[in-house]
Structure 1
Amino acid sequence: MAARTVPARVLAAVGTVAVLVAGLSACASAEDDKDPDHRTFALQGDTLTIDADDSALEIVAADGNPSGKVEATRWFNGSVAIGSDPEVSWSMDGDRLKLRTHCSGVVADCATKHRVEVPRGVAVKVETDDGSVRAQGFRDALEIRTADGSVRVSDSTGPLTLRSDDGSLRADVSSRRVDASTRDGSVRLQLGAVPDLVETHSDDGSVSVELPRATYKVSAGSDDGSVDVSVPRDDASAHVVTARTQDGKVTVRTAN
């Protein structure tokens, strides 16, 4: 049987792609954008939904903004060697802030980061397909849902809901109500105030809850892992804590 030859034009195309890939071996970083874009959006009402796609997010409750404006900053760095040029966009539709990144092609490497400053008195819901989320300073209700990415919340006192399909959850807050659940990742809560209700769950990962000194009604369990509950317990307590995982260690303890 005769050997099959590869046409020269195919070899040339493969060689071109190899050179381009080599040139893009270093991953893009949004931090390399030294001249970020800024935009102000008017917000009607006291709720905001941030709808993001393929971007790291930093969400901050901002003081000194009585006008009800949402301030957004965007860092972007990226390129597409074979395909259409990358595009980033942002828009406000009612109470929904849409943040989009389009970066596709044979050799595409893009990174986007947004910082969104939200006026006090606004309840925030974050929905993102791909990217980490950091949030701080919220006194009002905060809900974060991500399909793929870690979540970190700090310096907040309002009701808190965290969801991730694939990513760890961390919160260092004084919220009285916390609901945190992930399918794949660990959950760690550090609470600075005695909560009324804490519900935590992971399908695959450890769960750790640190609480102020008080007596709690605790329900804790792991299908495959140890369970360590060291806080004072009383089934009649009004402070209810649930901590469960299917695979991992569960710890409920008094904060140092």
Structure 2
Amino acid sequence: MRAHALVLTAASVVLVAGLSACGASASDDDEPDHRTFDLPGRTLTVDSDDTALEIVAADGNPEGRIEVTRWFQGTVALGKDPEVTWSMDGDRLVLREKCSGVVADCSSKHRIQVPRGVTVEVEGKDGSVRARGFRDALDIRTTDGSIHVTDTSGPLELRTGDGSVRAEVSSRTVRTHSGDGTVRLELSAVPDLVESRSGDGSVTVDLPRASYRVHTETGDGAEDVSVPRDDSSPHVVSVRTGDGKLTVRTAN
């Protein structure tokens, strides 16, 4: 019995090592699933638990509908078969992945195409989020994953517990927070308010040429503020980092 158990244990170790070496990647899915959901109003909440998200505001999308594409790769050698689900509950799109067992390796990605004029809120638990093309408010919160927003002019609120934040936008209001990760903001229009926080990581803010009312604070790191400063300016920039370099400068 003991010899048999040792053989099984050794086989399991080899199996685990083999799966870990491969690593599932959603990009290997050559036949992604597609689905269209009705959106009852002008707001959308994306509720995801373990997936990479790409969210796009597009003129070509029919009003009142969102289009979702899903890529998935997964194997479970010692446990239940993996499962991914998607459903719409009112204005909440719920994305779930079940992948558990002694030996489990899964990866998923969703692209969500949203009509123009929709306010989007993302509640992510684990996974990166990329978004582009928004003219309306965008609120992204993820427990563990990076955030990257481009080609956006609506108000932004970006928050991650563990991951970097990057935004290349023309938004007038930008609020960001990273518990552990760098923050990089590149604004192409003079903002009314930029508020950025990082617990552990550098913060860099590139701004158009103008005078700003600047507030900065760093617990352990250098500060480099080179934008023109004016305490009466209506354009407010507030940046704080617990541990990391803080830079506020005029974009080239």
TM-score (norm 2): 0.98
Look up the match of 2:83. 87
Question: What is the SS of the residue equivalent to 1:74?
Answer: strand
Aligned residues: 251
Structure 1 stretch 43-52 or stretch 57-66: which is displaced more?
A: 57-66
Question: What is the SS of the residue equivalent to 1:15?
Answer: helix
Identity of aligned residues (%): 66
8 Å Cα contact 2:61/2:113 also seen in 1: no
Deviation at 1:63, TM superposition (A): 1.0
TM-score (norm 1): 0.96
1:121 corresponds to which letter in structure 2? G
Question: What is the SS of the residue equivalent to 2:126?
Answer: coil
Residues in 2 aligned to 1:87 and 1:214: alpha-carbon distance in whole angstroms: 52
Mapped pair 1:100 → 2:87 = no
Residues in 1 aligned to 2:13 and 2:202: alpha-carbon distance in whole angstroms: 42
Deviation at 1:68, TM superposition (A): 1.6
Deviation at 1:180, TM superposition (A): 0.2
Aligned pair partner of 2:12 in 9, 17, 30? 17
Aligned pair partner of 2:39 in 16, 30, 43? 43
Residues in 1 aligned to 2:232 and 2:192: alpha-carbon distance in whole angstroms: 13
Residues in 2 aligned to 1:15 and 1:61: alpha-carbon distance in whole angstroms: 51
Look up the match of 1:66. 62
Deviation at 1:9, TM superposition (A): 2.9
Consecutive aligned runs of 4 or more in structure 1 exceeding 2 Å deviation: none
2:23 corresponds to which letter in structure 1? C
Deviation at 1:212, TM superposition (A): 0.3
Unmatched segments (≥5 aa) in structure 2: none
Look up the match of 2:184. 188
Residues in 2 aligned to 1:101 and 1:128: alpha-carbon distance in whole angstroms: 12
Q: How does 1:1-256 map to 2 (within 5 A)?
A: 7-24=2-19, 25-256=21-252
Question: What is the SS of the residue equivalent to 1:205?
Answer: coil
Residues in 2 aligned to 1:16 and 1:48: alpha-carbon distance in whole angstroms: 47
8 Å Cα contact 2:224/2:248 also seen in 1: yes
Residues in 1 aligned to 2:48 and 2:104: alpha-carbon distance in whole angstroms: 19
Root-mean-square deviation over aligned CA pairs: 0.9
* Deviations 1:99-134, CA, capped at 9 Å, x for gaps: 111100011000000000011100000011110000
2:185 corresponds to which letter in structure 1? L
Residues in 2 aligned to 1:169 and 1:23: alpha-carbon distance in whole angstroms: 33
Question: What is the SS of the residue equivalent to 2:71?
Answer: strand
Question: What is the SS of the residue equivalent to 1:66?
Answer: coil
* Deviations 1:185-211, CA, capped at 9 Å, x for gaps: 111100000000000010100011000
1:7 corresponds to which letter in structure 2? R
Residues in 2 aligned to 1:44 and 1:68: alpha-carbon distance in whole angstroms: 6
Deviation at 1:220, TM superposition (A): 1.1
Bigger Rg, which one: 1
2:240 corresponds to which letter in structure 1? R
